[in-house]
A and B are shown apart, each in its own frame.
Chain A
Amino acid sequence: MDPKRDAHEGEILERCLRQLEQGADLETCLREVPEAIPLRPLLETALWLRRGQEVALAPAARQRLIRQGQLYAARRAAAPRASCPASRWAWALVAALGFILVLLSAVGAAEASLPSEPLHPVKRAVEGLVTLGMSHEEQALYLAERRWSEFEVAAARGRWLPDLAEESLVRLERAARLRAERPAGRAAALRALYERQGLLLEEAAAVAPPELRPALARARQHWARLVPAFSWPEGEIPEPTGPVETLVPPEPTAELPRERTHTPPRPEKRETPPTLRTPSSQEKKETPGPDRTPPSQKEEDTPSPPRGEDSALPGDQDSRDPPEGRR
C-alpha cells in the first residue's frame, strides 16, 4: 500500500462524494473528475450506503447502526483513555517523581558508602556536582575531608585503606598549596584536617595488619612532608575565623599551655607536632592510640613539622618517622 497514492485517491474520493452529496449523479461526477473512474466501485458503495440510509432503513434499523457506530466509538474512546494527553502528563509526572525518589534514596545510601562498594561511584558523582561551584582550594579541601572521613569510617570497622589516606593527603596538599597562594583561604579547616590525619595515621601505623603497614607508613611520611606546604608562620596559631567546616571541633587553646596546642613546636625544642600528642577533643572521644609513646621517645621517632630556619627537610621528617618496630 502506497500512502501517497492512498492519500491522493482519498482526496479524489472525497471530492466526488461531496459532488454526490450536492446532488450530482455518478456519471456526471466521473466525467468531471476522470481520475475518479477507478474509484467507481467505492463511489457506488457510498451511494448504496446513503440510499440504504435514505430509503431502505427504517428509523429503528438506522438507529441500531448508529448505535453500533457509537458503541465502537465509545469503546475505542474508553480503552485508550489512559493515554489521553492529560493522563500521559500525569503518568510522566508520577514516573519523574518516582525516579527522583529512587535517585535521592540512592544518593542518601551512597553517602555512607566506601570504596569498592557498589554505590561509591554514585557518591563520587554527587561530589563532582557538589564541588562544581567551589573554588579550587575549597574543592581540594572538601574532597580531602571526604576521603579522610571514609578512611576514618573504614578504620573504625577495622579496614585500613592506605589509598584513601594517600588521596586525602594529596588533596590536602593541593589545598594547602592553593591556600598559600591565597592567604584568605580556610587555614583553620586545613589545620583541623591535618591534625585528624596525624592522629589516625599514628594509630594506623601501630594497629593495622602488617601487610598494610608499609603503605600506611608511606602515607604518614607523606603527611609529615606536608608541613612546608602549609607555610604556617612560626608561632602562629591558625585560629578559625568562622565556623570550621570539618567534623573535628576546634581544639580549646586557652586552657592549655601554648606548646600543647596548635602552636608548631619551637625549632630548638624539636618536639613532635603538638597536635599529635595533645589530647584534643577528638582524640579524647576516639579510641586512644594503642601505643602512647613517652614524650622522650617521641622526640626521637615522631616527625616534627619544620618551622622557620630550623624547618626540617622532607627527608629529615621522613627520618623521624616512627621506626618500623613501633608500627
Chain B
Amino acid sequence: MALEDTETGPQLSQDIPEDEVTVSEMIQRALRVLTEEQQEVVVLRFLVGMSLEEVARAMGKSVGAVKALQHRALSALARCLEKIR
C-alpha cells in the first residue's frame, strides 16, 4: 500500500481521494468484525489518538477492561486484515 502517495491525490465525490477511500473502507471492513466496544476502543485509541486512560474515562470503564478490549480488538483485526490482504 502506497499510503504516502494518496495523501494529495485527486478528490472523489466530496473531498476524499480514491486511495484514501480504499484505506478507509479497509479499516471500516476490518472494524465490522469487532464488537461495538472493541470498535469504540480502536477508533478512540488509534484513530482519535487518545491514551488508554482517556479511552477508559470516555467509555466509563476501568483501564484494565479497556486494555483487555484493546488486546482482543487488535487480535481480531490482525486476523481480519490477514485475510483482506
Q: Kindly name the residue among B47, B67, B68, B81 whose own CB sees the greatest number of chain A CB atoms within 10 A.
A: B47
Q: Kindly name the residue among A13, A51, A58 whose own CB sees the greatest number of chain B CB atoms within 10 A.
A: A58
Within the complex, what minimum Cβ distance (angstroms) separates B44 from chain A? 6
Q: Are A49 and B47 in contact (CB under 8 A)?
A: yes
A53 within 8 A of B: yes
> What's the Cα separation between A13 and B72 when bound, in Å?
11
Given contacts A45-B81, A61-B20, contact A55 B71 (CB under 8 A): no
Given contacts A68-B28, A69-B47, contact A48 B81 (CB under 8 A): yes
Q: Are B23 and A52 in contact (CB under 8 A)?
A: yes
A41 within 8 A of B: yes
**In A36-58, which residues have CB < 8 Å from any B CB?**
41-46, 48-53, 55-58
Total interface residues on A, using CB and 8 Å?
39
A73 within 8 A of B: yes
Q: Are B71 and A57 in contact (CB under 8 A)?
A: no
> What's the Cα separation between A57 and B21 when bound, in Å?
8
Q: Are A13 and B43 in contact (CB under 8 A)?
A: no
Q: Are A72 and B17 in contact (CB under 8 A)?
A: no
Given contacts A11-B67, A66-B48, contact A73 B7 (CB under 8 A): no
**In A64-112, which residues have CB < 8 Å from any B CB?**
64-66, 68-70, 72-73, 75-77
B24 partner, pick from A10, A11, A61, beta carbons under 8 A: A61
A53 partner, pick from B19, B31, B47, B71, beta carbons under 8 A: B47
Q: Are B3 and A49 in contact (CB under 8 A)?
A: no
Given contacts A7-B64, A9-B71, A14-B70, contact A56 B7 (CB under 8 A): yes
Closest to B9 in A: A58
Q: Are B64 and A56 in contact (CB under 8 A)?
A: no
Q: Are B81 and A75 in contact (CB under 8 A)?
A: no
Q: Are B58 and A73 in contact (CB under 8 A)?
A: yes
Chain B residues lying within 8 Å of A57, measured Cβ to Cβ, are 20, 23-24, 27, 47
Given contacts A53-B46, A72-B40, contact A42 B23 (CB under 8 A): no
Residues of A in contact with B (beta carbons under 8 Å apart):
3, 6-7, 9-11, 13-14, 41-46, 48-53, 55-62, 64-66, 68-70, 72-73, 75-77
17 intermolecular pairs with C-beta atoms under 8 Å apart: A6-B71, A10-B70, A13-B70, A13-B71, A45-B77, A45-B78, A48-B81, A49-B46, A50-B46, A52-B24, A56-B3, A59-B15, A60-B15, A61-B21, A61-B23, A69-B42, A72-B40
Closest 3 CB pairs of A and B: A69-B43, A61-B24, A49-B46
Residues of B in contact with A (beta carbons under 8 Å apart):
1, 3-4, 6-7, 14-17, 19-21, 23-24, 26-28, 31, 36-37, 39-40, 42-44, 46-49, 52, 58-60, 64, 67-68, 70-72, 74-75, 77-78, 81-82
